Structure 1
Amino acid sequence: MRAIRVSQYGGPEQLKLEEVPRPEPQAGEVLIRVHAVGVLPMEWKLRRGLFQGRMPLTLPYIPGSAIAGGVEQVGPGVETFRVGQAVFGRTSKGGYAEYTTAAIENLALKPEGLSFVDAATISGGATVAFSALFENAKLQAGQRVLIHGAAGGVGLFAVQFARWKGAAEIIATASAQNEAFVRALGAQTVINYAKTRFEDVVHDIDVVLDTIGGETLTRSMQVVKPGGILVSLLEEPSQEEATRLGIRAMSNKPSFPWPSTELLQTIARLMTEEGVKTEIARTFPLHEAAQAHTLSETGHGRGRIVLLIH
């Protein structure tokens, strides 16, 4: 089969299209003919070797994890899925390929009303937003929430999930060109981060979702009300500062979760029945994975980038 492989850390040019053996599903796995795979920011960071200390990879490796496709073969003991079914979810075996294997506990059936491209944006985007807001922050109806990077692949889902939950006020940061888009998702207040320092106009927030890190994370701690919570997707907040301010602060980083079938099904239902939608920034064919990574590295796109395989 054809697959993209990385043989050494480096720039996008390290993403090479190669012929490799088709994998065989093991016990508890299925073989998937991949139709679409999401391109996540984590993947270009891994390719550049930024996580060698924490997440060492065995080179060469096939990038990609957020997949959608059809079941081609089932492994020993698998009764949950059948050959021919459309599925989506997460793989640890590499998704930038014509075929991959995945554990059945990280897959769900794709509803007919959901395209393969849209389904490939759920894992790593929607699942991260859902777990951060509801499992980590315990967001409740009537609370005020601030979402940073609201036009991005996690942020766009977070705004919609907060609206669905019944948040009293959804405040979002975005660029000027994405302001109307973020308002349409459900944010009542959109702050142009290039013109306004959010901490000058926002106070007493129940839940902050930080998708940016760095200085944005540090400044965000000032706007959480006593007893409120900040969840960062990128780094561990200062617990000393959180204690001083009387707030809770945590990282969702360790649980960039391998989503359960139940979570995947929940989000698919929200997309097919409750009006939650994704946004596709751009699609690329498999052989243009390097161009997809180059676009992802700019960090200012709206929505998700997806590779089309079959």
Structure 2
Amino acid sequence: MKALVVPGYGPPGTFTVEDLPIPEPGPGQLQVRVAAASLNPADLLMTAGTVREMVPLDFPFVPGTDAAGTVTKIGPGTRGFEVGEEVFGFGAPPSFAAGVGIPAVTSGALAEYATFQAGPFLAKRPPKLSVVTAAALPSTGMTGLAVLERGRFQPGETVLVIGAPGGIGSVVVPLLAAQCVVLATGTGPDRDYVRGLGATEVIDHRGTDLIGEVRRRHPGGIDAVVNLALTGEAVIAATRTLRPGGRLLSTTPGTPAHPAVTTVMGTTDLRPGTMDTLAAHVLDGILPEPATTTHPLSDAPRALADLAQQHTRGKLVVIVDPAATR
């Protein structure tokens, strides 16, 4: 089978598409013929070695955690799925899954075939949910729903979403906008996109002092911040936009400790049925289909390089089986 291969820690320019043996499903696993897989910043963190102490990788390594495809084999003792069923969901490298204690292991989604652990991180794909959308949903959707759950947002609250044009923002902003006043960061063409997601106000974080602008517009402070982009001390600085008793929820790795800050990880805050909920929200129109840019598997190294070097809107999706996405 063709797969994206990472030979060792390094940038996407060192990755290649090569032939590898098709992985066989172990106990409690499924083998999936991958139709499409989406990219996430975590793919870059792991392959660059940034989080190697927490997530050591064995090389050669096949990246990719989010996918949609067709079940082709069932491992021993696996229940709830059948060969031929369309599925979508999330899986992590064994070291990551073991480190955070989740039953979600994959051999790597950026390949023609991958194995996935059967369980709450995998679901059957409804026929009306497109393959590309299904591949784009898992990580961002899990994290977005976890933010809403942990944030306990109340009707009428004012919430700033930093990094709204990205994949998680495409989930968080529409769900928040149903009950809250949403401020969001965005520049250029992203302004209209973020407003379309439901943001009431859009602030150009590159052309202005974000904290000062929020304080100017809301002198008493706002109720909450959802950080999807800032890292390090910039996260703590964003708490200056909060009213007394306000809270900040952050999804970025390495968020510093602070009394007003809660770190959210979709993988550890997952509830049973999350994948089914995400699919239903898209099909019911509660969530818009995420903006996606697609690449063939042969172009996966460049797609990851784009994710690393460029501002991207929505999700980058690698089409592994073009026939299955028509």
Give the structure-2-normalised TM-score. Answer: 0.86
Q: Is 1:161 matched up with 2:175?
A: yes
Identity of aligned residues (%): 30
- Offset at residue 78 of structure 1 (A): 2.4
> Retained in 2: the 8 A contact 1:37–1:66?
yes
| Alignment counterpart, residue 98 of structure 1, candidates 94, 101, 112 | 112
Rounded to whole Å, the distance in 1 between the matches of 2:162 and 2:113 is: 35
- Offset at residue 155 of structure 1 (A): 1.2
Q: In structure 1, what is the equivalent of residue 241 of structure 2?
A: 223
Q: Is 1:307 matched up with 2:322?
A: no
Rounded to whole Å, the distance in 2 between the matches of 1:278 and 1:257 is: 24
Rounded to whole Å, the distance in 1 between the matches of 2:204 and 2:134 is: 30
Amino acid aligned to 1:123:
P
Q: In structure 1, what is the equivalent of residue 65 of structure 2?
A: 65
Structure 1 36/296 Cα, relative in aligned 2: closer, same or farther at 3 Å? same
Specify the SS of the correspondent of 1:176.
coil
Summarize the alignment of residues 187-202 of structure 1 with structure 2, pairs less than 5 Å apart.
187-202=199-214
> Retained in 1: the 8 A contact 2:175–2:286?
no
Q: In structure 2, what is the equivalent of residue 78 of structure 1?
A: 78
Amino acid aligned to 1:308:
I
Q: In structure 2, what is the equivalent of residue 245 of structure 1?
A: none
Rounded to whole Å, the distance in 1 between the matches of 2:130 and 2:25 is: 25
Q: In structure 2, what is the equivalent of residue 206 of structure 1?
A: 223
Summarize the alignment of residues 138-177 of structure 1 with structure 2, pairs less than 5 Å apart.
138-164=152-178, 166-167=179-180, 169-177=181-189
Structure 1 78/260 Cα, relative in aligned 2: closer, same or farther at 3 Å? farther
Q: In structure 2, what is the equivalent of residue 108 of structure 1?
A: 123
Rounded to whole Å, the distance in 2 between the matches of 1:258 and 1:137 is: 12
Structure 1 275/199 Cα, relative in aligned 2: closer, same or farther at 3 Å? same
Amino acid aligned to 1:225:
R
- Offset at residue 257 of structure 1 (A): 4.0
- Offset at residue 127 of structure 1 (A): 1.4
Structure 1 276/225 Cα, relative in aligned 2: closer, same or farther at 3 Å? same
Q: In structure 1, what is the equivalent of residue 3 of structure 2?
A: 3
Rounded to whole Å, the distance in 2 between the matches of 1:216 and 1:10 is: 26
| Alignment counterpart, residue 275 of structure 2, candidates 237, 253, 264 | 264
- Offset at residue 218 of structure 1 (A): 2.5
Structure 2: runs of 5+ lacking an equivalent: 93-106, 322-326
**1:14-52 residue CA offsets vs partner (Å, 9 max, x unmatched):** 221122121121222111110000011121222222112
Q: In structure 1, what is the equivalent of residue 296 of structure 2?
A: 285
Rounded to whole Å, the distance in 1 between the matches of 2:84 and 2:257 is: 49
- Offset at residue 219 of structure 1 (A): 2.4
Q: In structure 2, what is the equivalent of residue 294 of structure 1?
A: 305
Q: In structure 2, what is the equivalent of residue 186 of structure 1?
A: 198
Give the structure-1-normalised TM-score. Answer: 0.91
Rounded to whole Å, the distance in 2 between the matches of 1:298 and 1:155 is: 19
Amino acid aligned to 1:62:
V
Rounded to whole Å, the distance in 1 between the matches of 2:141 and 2:55 is: 22
Rounded to whole Å, the distance in 2 between the matches of 1:299 and 1:153 is: 14
| Alignment counterpart, residue 131 of structure 1, candidates 118, 124, 146 | 146
Amino acid aligned to 2:308:
E
| Alignment counterpart, residue 255 of structure 2, candidates 216, 227, 236 | 236
Specify the SS of the correspondent of 2:87.
strand
Structure 1: runs of 5+ lacking an equivalent: 243-247
Count of aligned pairs between the two proteins: 299
**1:199-255 residue CA offsets vs partner (Å, 9 max, x unmatched):** 22324322211112235413210112222211111232342xx3xxxxx212125x5
Rounded to whole Å, the distance in 1 between the matches of 2:194 and 2:4 is: 33
Rounded to whole Å, the distance in 2 between the matches of 1:52 and 1:103 is: 23
- Offset at residue 139 of structure 1 (A): 2.2
Structure 1 230/193 Cα, relative in aligned 2: closer, same or farther at 3 Å? same
Q: Is 1:118 matched up with 2:128?
A: no
RMSD of the TM alignment (CA)? 1.8
